[in-house]
Amino acid sequence: MSESFAPRIPTPLEKTPLDALHRRLGARMAPFAGYELPLHYPSGVVAEHLHTRDKASLFDVSHMGQAILSGRGAAEKIEALVPADVRDLAPERTRYSQLLAEDGGVFDDLMITRLPGRDERLLLVVNAAAKRQDFDFLRQELPELGLAVLAGRALIALQGPRAAAAIATLLPNVAELPFMAWRAAEFRGAGLFVSRSGYTGEDGFEISVPDHLAEPFAEALLAHPDVAPAGLAARDSLRLEAGFCLYGHDLDVTTDPVEAGLAWSIGKRRREQGGFPGYERIRAALIEGPARKRVGLLPRGRAPLREGATLTAPDGRIVGRLTSGGYSPTLSRPIAMGYVETPFATPGVMLESRLRGNLVAVEVTSLPFVPHRYFRGPAGKDRS
């Protein structure tokens, strides 16, 4: 048998419609999920992170997958794949959920918005690394529905306490949207999709823009004195402080939504009636509690612990593992998340890990590390 040792030709990285803008702004580019994206800009990661917490930052998230699922009964039919209550989702409202494997493990997580109009349409936003498999999965499992992938649209996130004031200068009709609400808007005669959501724990918006207008729209936002660009590194440290899962790290097909701390995303009707993959496993975890839980972790000292580090009990037994770790610019200390056996998941429990051969004390804590600051609407509450 002959064997070829020809070198592999690397797959070229894709570029987003904002690629030229990132380079003009001096971004350090890096590969992520098959794309070349800005890791950070000349101001640096810490400055970008703190600017987001204080004012507003613009993130390019055009690598995410966007699609519209349409057809009679689309909301009820997608409930065969996710645990969220989609059937009762009101028009122009958004819910977070998960695509589930047969045993209840998380295949991917996603945002689902019911679009307005007589025809039943759901706008889906999925993770970049999984978008092709997600869309193939949806076509396979729901062949009677239409799935239109929105390949010609960029996605821009504007995040921070000054985000609403900044976006109001361009799109005044969206500034009063409550958290997890959606609205169509217009820029230079073209249609935009705007949702009040994000991945930082701050108030903010995610705006779907036709490719040809992505750069002028981003430049118009960046012209606001409170808006600055931010890259992948700040996005990751912000989401870690907010206690959000990163798919492929804190969440994967071996993890069910309950142990991941996502039981809040499973609607009451769905908990009672089921009808989604892995219902028995998830129902048992809801009633009896999961065997392990995702928790916040506070390593002692100044050096961050990283993904994969094991967590041991006082008797030396391994009881958990880190799934995300880094430095918190807001708290000026290392923070982490991970899974631990449920008896050790109580805030205040002390565990140990190893960093470069040295033992590090690690305190279990609740999530998030930094409180969320969403805009709940004029009534002061989320109307989702």
For residue 171, give the DSSP letter.
-
Structural tokens at position 201: 């724990």
Range of the domain at 126: 65-149
State the residue for tokens 């889906």.
Answer: 124
pLDDT in tens, the chain (384 residues): 334 444 555 678 999 999 999 999 999 999 999 999 999 999 999 999 999 999 999 999 999 999 999 999 999 999 999 999 999 999 999 999 999 999 999 999 999 999 999 899 999 999 999 999 999 999 999 999 999 999 999 999 999 999 999 999 999 999 999 999 999 999 999 999 999 999 999 999 999 999 999 999 999 999 999 999 999 999 999 999 999 999 999 999 999 999 999 999 999 999 999 999 999 999 999 999 999 999 999 999 999 999 999 999 999 999 999 999 999 999 999 999 999 999 999 999 999 999 998 999 999 999 999 999 999 876 444 333
- Upper half-sphere CA count for residue 344 (Cβ side, 13 Å): 24
Residue 53 shares a structural domain with residue 85: no
Residue 267 shares a structural domain with residue 121: no
What is the distance between the alpha carbons of residues 206 and 198, in angstroms, rounded to a whole number? Answer: 6
Which one, of 337, 335, 338, 334, lies nearest residue 303 by Cα? 334
| pTM attached to this predicted model | 0.94
Give 81-141 as a DSSP string: T-SS--TTPPTTEEEEEEEE-TTS-EEEEEEEEEPPSSS-EEEEEE-TTTHHHHHHHHHHH
CATH label of the domain that carries residue 81: 3.30.70.1400
Report if residue 248 sits inside a domain: no
Provide the number of structural domains found in the chain: 3
Cα 328 to Cα 38, 302, 305, 332, 335: the distances in Å are: 20, 11, 12, 6, 6
Residue 82 shares a structural domain with residue 202: no
Q: Which of 149, 181, 208 is the last residue of a domain?
A: 149
Q: Which of 100, 127, 149 is the last residue of a domain?
A: 149
Residue 126 shares a structural domain with residue 103: yes
What is the distance between the alpha carbons of residues 185 and 282, in angstroms, rounded to a whole number? Answer: 39
What is the distance between the alpha carbons of residues 304 and 53, in angstroms, rounded to a whole number? Answer: 21
Report if residue 380 sits inside a domain: no
CATH label of the domain that carries residue 323: 2.40.30.110
Q: CB atoms < 10 A from the CB of 271, how many?
A: 16
